Amino acid sequence: AIEGGPVLLVEGLRKSFGGVRAVDEVSLTLEAGTITGLIGPNGSGKTTVINLISGLERPDAGRILVAGRDLAGKRPDRIARAGIARTFQAVSLPEGATVLEAVAAARLERDRGVAAAEAHALWALERLGAADLALRPCADLPAALRRRVELARALARQPAVLLLDEPAAGLTDAEKAELAGHLRAIAAAGTALLVVEHDMGFLLPLAGHVLCLDQGRTLYDGPPAGVRSDAAVVAAYLGE
Ligand code: ADP
pLDDT digits (tens, 9 = 90+) for 157-203: 999 999 999 999 999 999 999 999 999 999 999 999 999 999 999 99
pLDDT for 68: 82
Q: Which of 13, 15, 20 for a ligand 1 pocket mutation test, highest count of atoms within 8 Å of Cβ? A: 20
Statement to judge: residues 165 and 240 lie in one domain: yes
Ligand 1 residue neighbourhood (C-beta within 6 Å): 17, 20, 22, 40, 42-48
pLDDT digits (tens, 9 = 90+) for 95-146: 999 999 999 999 988 888 899 999 999 999 999 999 999 999 999 999 999 9
Statement to judge: residues 130 and 178 lie in one domain: no
Nearest CA to ligand 1 atom 13: 43
ipTM above 0.85, yes or no: yes
pLDDT digits (tens, 9 = 90+) for 50-99: 999 999 999 999 999 998 899 999 999 999 999 999 999 889 999 999 99
The residue among 158, 173, 203 that closes a domain is: 158
Q: Which of 17, 46, 56 for a ligand 1 pocket mutation test, highest count of atoms within 8 Å of Cβ? A: 17
- What percentage of the chain carries pLDDT values higher than 70? 98
Distance 133 CA to ligand 1 centre (A): 34
Atom from ligand 1 closest to the CA of residue 213: 3
pLDDT for 67: 83
Nearest CA to ligand 1 atom 21: 17
Statement to judge: residues 240 and 146 lie in one domain: no
How far is Cα 79 from Cα 190, in angstroms, rounded to an integer? 19
Atom from ligand 1 closest to the CA of residue 45: 6
Statement to judge: residues 108 and 62 lie in one domain: no
Range of the domain at 136: 91-158
Distance 239 CA to ligand 1 centre (A): 21
How far is Cα 51 from Cα 125, in angstroms, rounded to an integer? 25
Statement to judge: residues 95 and 129 lie in one domain: yes
